[in-house]
Amino acid sequence: MLVVPPQFAPITIPDPADGRNYILQATSPNCAQQTLGVLLAPDGGSTTQLSHSFLKVKELHAKLRISSLKPKAKLMALESVISPAVLYPMVNVLFRQSNFHPIDSILSQLYCSTLGLNRNFLRAVLHSPTCLGGIGVPSPKHRITRDHINYFLYNV
């Protein structure tokens, strides 16, 4: 659910040269605007981006479940289209891990269904490395943390 920002009273600025009034619409500092594919708010709030990503992953989950793609094509679509579309904006947004749990849960269900596993398959086994007896699918939380670290190291 997207948060509709409250509207403030417009700001009227008189022009001394010609006497006309210019009206500017003021918005709340927590009103997110899209910048390079990421919904950023001036106050650093992440609720709009998290809700937008949640709606996107829910929609893509429904579409992938009813698609007639073969399992390998579904996995390729998940790896190359769906995961980047949902996880890319999260690199630029600060959020609590608990707020990301609904998105993480749906992405893990998607990985389970594309690998032919039960949707309630153990997440510890799904995301554990293969050397420890797991399947080796990196969790979305770990992917975002990895991208945060890479972004930091690249810009240092």
Lowest mean pLDDT among 1-5, 124-128, 135-139, 149-153: 1-5
Write the CA distances from 112 to 16, 48, 98, 118, 144, integer angstroms.
Answer: 65, 27, 21, 6, 19
**pLDDT over 60 (residue 23):** yes
Place of tokens 């608990």: 98
Residue 24, number of CB atoms within 10 A of its CB: 9
The domain spans of the chain are 45-154
Closest CA to 151 of 89, 77, 86, 80: 89
Contact by Cβ (8 Å): 49, 39? yes
Structure-token pair, residue 103 = 């998105």
Residue 38 or 101, more confident: 101
Q: Is the pLDDT of residue 35 over 60?
A: no
| pLDDT exceeds 80 at position 25 | no
Which tokens go with 76? 């390729």
Please say if the pLDDT value at position 67 is more than 70. Answer: yes
Structure tokens of 7? 């509207």
Query: Above 60 in pLDDT, residue 22?
Result: yes
Mean pLDDT value across residues 23-45: 63
- Residue 28 CA to residue 41 CA, distance in Å, equals 9
Q: DSSP code of 42? A: T
